[in-house]
Amino acid sequence: MMEKEDDENYGDYERGIEIEGLLDGNEENGRYLSGLSDRSMAHTKPLLVKRINTTSQIAIVGANLSPIESLDYEIFYNEILKHDWRSRKKSQTIQYVVLKWGFALLIGLGTGLVGFFNSYAVENIAGFKLLMTTTLMSKNRYLEAFLAYAGVNICLAAAAAALCAFIAPAAAGSGIPEVKAYLNGVDAHYILAPSTLFVKIFGSILGVSAGFVVGKEGPMVHTGACIASLLGQGGSRKYHLTCSWLRFFKNDRDRRDMITCGAAAGVAAAFRAPVGGVLFALEEAASWWRSALLWRTFFTTAVVAVVLRVAIQFCATGKCGLFGEGGLIMYDVGSANITYSAVDIFAVLLLGAVGGILGSIYNYLVDKVVRTYSIVNEKGPAFKISLVVTIALLTSCCFYFLPWVAHCIPCPSDSTSACPSSDESGEYQNFQCPPGYYNDLASLFLNTNDDAIRNLFSPKIIKEFHISSLFIYFATIYCLGIITYGIAIPSGLFIPVILAGATYGRLVSRIFELITTLDRGLFALLGAASFLGGTMRMTVSICVILLELTNDLLLLPLVMLVLLVSKTVADSFNKGVYDLILQIKGLPYLEAHAEPYMKNLVAGDVVSGPLITFSGIEKVGIIWHALSATGHNGFPVIDEPPFTDAPELCGLVLRSHLLVLLKEKIFSNDKNFIDQSSFQRISALDFGKAGSGKGIKLEDLDIDEEDMDMYVDLHPITNASPYTVVETMPLAKAAIIFRQHGLRHMCVVPKSQGRPPVVGILTRHDFMPEHVLGLYPHIKSQKQSLGISVKNILSSVLKCCIH
Phi, psi angles (nearest 5°) of residue 638 = -115, 125
Considering Cα of 299, then 303, then 304, then 309, what sign does the dihedral take?
A: positive
- The answer on pLDDT for 64 being more than 90 is no
Q: What is the pLDDT of residue 24?
A: 35
> How many Å apart are CA 156 and CA 389, to the nearest integer?
9
More confident residue, 186 or 631: 186
Beta bridge partners, 235, equal 242
End-to-end CA distance of the chain: 30
CA nearest to 363, candidates 794, 803, 22: 794
Range in 269-273, 426-430, 461-465, 633-637 the model is least confident about: 461-465
Residue 17 pLDDT grade (very low, low, confident, very high; cuts 50, 70, 90) = very low
Q: Kind of pairing, strands 186-188 and 648-654?
A: unpaired
Output the CA angle 113-115-118, nearest 5 degrees. Answer: 110
Strands (E), 133-213: 186-188
> How many Å apart are CA 69 and CA 423, to the nearest integer?
52
More confident residue, 62 or 329: 62
Q: What is the pLDDT of residues 307-366, one digit of tens each?
A: 998 988 888 777 777 765 444 555 655 554 577 788 889 999 999 999 999 999 999 999
The DSSP code sequence of 652-697 is EEEHHHHHHHHHHT--BSSSSPPPGGGGGG--GGGGSPP-TTTS--
Q: Kind of pairing, strands 614-615 and 711-713?
A: unpaired
- 471-506 CB burial, b ≥16 within 10 A, e <16: ebbbebbbebbbbbbbbbbbbbbbbbbbbbbbbbbb
Range in 89-93, 190-194, 285-289, 621-625 the model is least confident about: 89-93
Q: What is the pLDDT of residue 504?
A: 95
Residue 112 pLDDT grade (very low, low, confident, very high; cuts 50, 70, 90) = very high
Report DSSP state, residue 336: -
On whether the CB atoms of residues 160 and 206 are closer than 8 A, the answer is yes
In this structure, which amino acid lies at residue 219?
Answer: P
Helix (H) or strand (E) segment spanning residue 578? helix 577-585
- The answer on pLDDT for 752 being more than 50 is yes
Residue 799 φ/ψ region, left for φ over 0, alpha for ψ in the -120 to 50 degree band, beta for the rest: alpha
DSSP-derived 3-state class of residue 342: helix
Strands (E), 416-535: 437-438
Burial (Cβ within 10 Å: 0-12, 13-18, ≥19) of residue 156:
buried
Residue 642 pLDDT grade (very low, low, confident, very high; cuts 50, 70, 90) = confident
> How many Å apart are CA 802 and CA 401, to the nearest integer?
23
* Mean pLDDT value across residues 45-74: 62
Phi, psi angles (nearest 5°) of residue 710 = -90, 170
Residue 13 pLDDT grade (very low, low, confident, very high; cuts 50, 70, 90) = very low
Q: Which residues are within 8 A (CB) of 29 and not within 5 positions of it... i.e. 6 or more apart?
A: 8, 10, 632, 633, 634, 635, 745, 761, 763
Q: What is the pLDDT of residues 509-534, one digit of tens each?
A: 888 888 887 888 889 999 999 999 99
Q: What is the pLDDT of residue 59?
A: 76
In this structure, which amino acid lies at residue 392?
Answer: A
DSSP-derived 3-state class of residue 65: strand
DSSP-derived 3-state class of residue 475: helix
Q: What is the pLDDT of residues 422-449, one digit of tens each?
A: 565 567 777 778 888 888 888 889 888 8
Q: What is the pLDDT of residue 39?
A: 31
> How many Å apart are CA 45 and CA 800, to the nearest integer?
35
> How many Å apart are CA 605 and CA 598, to the nearest integer?
10
In this structure, which amino acid lies at residue 529?
Answer: A
Q: Find which of 32-36, 67-71, 479-483, 555-559 is predicted with most confidence, using mean pLDDT.
A: 479-483
Residue 237 pLDDT grade (very low, low, confident, very high; cuts 50, 70, 90) = low
> How many Å apart are CA 271 and CA 160, to the nearest integer?
23
DSSP-derived 3-state class of residue 337: coil
Q: What is the pLDDT of residue 30?
A: 38
- Which pTM does this prediction carry? 0.86
Burial (Cβ within 10 Å: 0-12, 13-18, ≥19) of residue 176:
buried
